[in-house]
Amino acid sequence: MRQTLSERLRQPGLVVAPGVYDLVSAKLADQAGFDALYMTGFGVVASHLGYPDAGLATYSDMVGRVRQIVEGTATPLIADGDTGYGGLLNVDLTVRGYEASGAQAIQLEDQEFPKKCGHTPSRRVIPLAEAARKIKVAARARSSKDFKIIARTDARTAHGLDEALRRGDAFLKAGADIVFIESPESVEEMERIGRTFDAPLLANMVEGGRTPILNSSELEKLRYKIAIYPVAGLLAATSTIQSIYAHLKATGSTQNWAGHLCPFSEFVRIIGFERVWEFERANPEDEYW
C-alpha cells in the first residue's frame, strides 16, 4: 500500500505532483509512481465542462471528479477546492465532501468569487480577515489532521509580495498546514518566500505562467516541499491532439503522421481491459446453463 500524503510530507525531499484532470491522465500519473497527484481545477473545468477556469464550476462538479479520480487510482490526491464555492458554510461542506471522497489535501484560495486562474489577469482577493476565517472553518471541518489544508493567496499580483506573505502567515495561524503563495515572479521572490515561513511550501510550476520553472533540486534549496505541475499533461495532450487532427483533416488519414501514438494494446491495458478479460474467463457465459 502506498504511503499517505501526511506520511510523505514528514520525510525528506520534494513531493512532485503532476496535474490530473480526467481518469486517463490520473491513471497514467498513478502508474508512473508519483508521490502525489494534483487535481487541477483549470484542467477539470476545461476538459469536463469545456469552460475557462473563471468560477464556472460548482462544488458538485468538482467533488464528483475528486471521487472518480480517487476510486480509479492508488496515489494520494491533492485537490483544488477553489474558493470553497461560497461563504463559510460552503467551505465547511467542501472540506467535508472532499475528505469523504478520499482526497488527502484540499487547496483553498483567497480570491473573490467568481475566481480566475492564478496566472491570468484581473484577479481580486477578499479581505484578509474573511480569508482567514475560511481557513479556520476549513481546519475545524476536517475529521482528521492527516487531511491537509493548503492555503493559497493570490495577493502577489495586485497587492505585492509583502501582502502575500502577510496573508500566508495569517493562514498558518488560522490552521493551514501548507502555504501556497501564488505567482511569485522571480527566483528572488521565491527565495524570500522560503526564508519567511517555517512551514511546508507549495510551488506552482505553470509552463508559460508568471513563475520561473525550476527543477526539483532548485525548489528544495528554496525550501519548497511540494511542486505541482497542473497543466503540463493537459498542454501536452492538447498539442498532440491538435497535431494529429490537423494531419487527418489535411490528408484524410492518420498514416505518415510525424508524431507518436500510444499503441492501442498499451492503451487498453492502461484503462483496465485486462481485468475485464480476466473476469470473462472466470465467468464464462455458459456457466449457468
Report pLDDT digits (tens) over 184-216.
Answer: 999 999 999 999 999 999 999 999 999 999 999
Give the chain as a 3 state SS string: CCCCHHHHHCCCCCEEEEEECCHHHHHHHHHHCCCCEEECHHHHHHHHHCCCCCCCCCHHHHHHHHHHHHHHCCCCEEEECCCCCCCHHHHHHHHHHHHHCCCCEEEEECECCCCCCCCCCCCCECCHHHHHHHHHHHHHHCCCCCCEEEEEECHHHHHCHHHHHHHHHHHHHHCCCEEEECCCCCHHHHHHHHHHCCCCEEEECCCCCCCCCCCHHHHHHCCCCEEEECCHHHHHHHHHHHHHHHHHHHHCCCCCCCCCCCCHHHHHHHCCHHHHHHHHHHCCHHHHC
Residue 262 lies in a domain: no
Q: Which domain holds residue 71?
A: 5-237
Quick one: pLDDT at residue 288?
59
Residue 251 lies in a domain: no
Q: How many domains does the chain have?
A: 1
**Rounded average pLDDT over 247-266:** 96
Residue 173 lies in a domain: yes
Quick one: pLDDT at residue 170?
98
Residue 282 lies in a domain: no
Quick one: pLDDT at residue 48?
86
Quick one: pLDDT at residue 112?
84
Residue 53 lies in a domain: yes
Query: What is the CATH classification number for the domain harbouring 53?
Result: 3.20.20.60
Rounded to two decimals, the pTM is: 0.93
Quick one: pLDDT at residue 280?
86
Residue 31 lies in a domain: yes
Residue 83 lies in a domain: yes
Residue 143 lies in a domain: yes
Mean pLDDT: which of 49-58, 116-125, 240-249 is highest?
240-249
